[in-house]
């Protein structure tokens, strides 16, 4: 569960999002909104990458402002267009993230295998296509024991065969660990691909649950 208290994000004095008192129950949320409505700004704020006024509290006890390290340990984020040092390999980054997130041993293996990454994950990132890079960013977002996973435009550059695999990861993680997912996308979601997903609209500088 995520709670927002007097949340306000502005750029150069221009309000992008204002959430005086808002909460998101555990579940899977599909964030929709026009270009420039504030979806990425919202996700980056929740991830702790952008500064903002107010507070965000995860699972009733972890405040991003009062417990920044513990909060970030529980909130994982995959950016829309991931950028990683290109001299590192996927395996290097997985090792780094596992260490930072205190991930269980071999946690990445089913993800790497199911997404067909085994043949290239040991190669330098400079050799990856955009879809291969996207898959790596998604694997990294599942490492550790996250209470919340934020995926900005997770579907872009993924091939059609990879979508059901990603959706099965999301469904299993939500059911087994109760992890909350916030996904942003321009694409229409076919309901049967991701059961129990709820839509959320970013519009008018705030969030809405559609009626
Ligand atoms: N670093 C920045 N400085 C100033 N304004 C910014 C900055 N980043 C984003 N904005 C503005 O904030 C608003 C929200 O941008 P944001 O990227 O969050 O939208 P979005 O909903 O993710 O858009 P898209 O669907 O096009 O990816 C836009 O008006 C944008 O111009």
Ligand 1 pocket check for 51: Cβ under 6 Å: no
Sheet of 28-32, strands arranged across = 75-78, 148-152, 180-184, 28-32, 197-203, 206-208
Among candidate residues 83, 134, 129, 76, the one with its CA nearest the CA of residue 107: 76
Ligand 1 pocket check for 9: Cβ under 6 Å: no
Q: Which atom of ligand 1 is nearest to the CA of 42?
A: 18
Please write the tens of the pLDDT for every residue from 14-46. 999 999 999 999 999 999 999 999 999 999 999
Ligand 1 pocket check for 39: Cβ under 6 Å: yes
Domain ranges within the chain, ordered by starting residue: 2-208
ipTM of this predicted complex?
Answer: 0.98
Ligand 1 pocket check for 40: Cβ under 6 Å: yes
Question: Rounded to the nearest whole angstrom, what is the distance from the C-alpha of residue 117 to the centroid of ligand 1?
Answer: 32
Q: Hey, is 169 helix, strand or coil?
A: helix
- Residue 61: both structure tokens together: 């006890």
User: What is the model's pTM?
Assistant: 0.96
Q: Which fold has domain 2-208?
A: Rossmann fold (3.40.50)
Please write the tens of the pLDDT for every residue from 125-172. 999 999 999 999 999 999 999 999 999 999 999 999 999 999 999 999
Please state, in angstroms and rounded to a whole number, the distance separating the CA atoms of residues 95 and 89.
10
Question: Rounded to the nearest whole angstrom, what is the distance from the C-alpha of residue 89 to the centroid of ligand 1?
Answer: 31
């Amino acid at each position: 569960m995520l709670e927002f208290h007097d949340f306000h994000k502005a750029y150069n004095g221009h309000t992008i999002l204002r959430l005086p008192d808002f909460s998101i129950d555990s579940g899977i949320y599909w964030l929709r909104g026009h270009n420039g409505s504030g979806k990425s700004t919202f996700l980056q704020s929740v991830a702790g990458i952008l500064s903002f006024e107010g507070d965000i509290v995860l699972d009733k006890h972890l405040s991003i402002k009062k417990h920044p390290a513990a909060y970030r340990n529980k909130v994982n984020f995959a950016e829309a267009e991931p950028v990683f040092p290109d001299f590192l390999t996927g395996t290097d980054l997985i090792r780094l993230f596992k260490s930072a997130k205190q991930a269980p041993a071999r946690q990445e293996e089913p993800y790497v295998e199911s997404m067909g990454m085994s043949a290239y994950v040991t190669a330098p990132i400079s050799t990856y296509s955009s879809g291969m890079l996207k898959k790596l960013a998604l694997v990294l977002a599942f490492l550790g024991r996250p209470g919340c996973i934020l995926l900005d435009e997770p579907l872009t550059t993924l091939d059609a065969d990879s979508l059901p695999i990603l959706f099965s990861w999301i469904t299993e993680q939500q059911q087994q660990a109760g992890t909350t997912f916030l996904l942003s996308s321009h694409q229409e979601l076919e309901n049967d691909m991701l059961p129990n997903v709820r839509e959320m609209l970013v519009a008018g500088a705030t969030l809405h649950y559609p009626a």
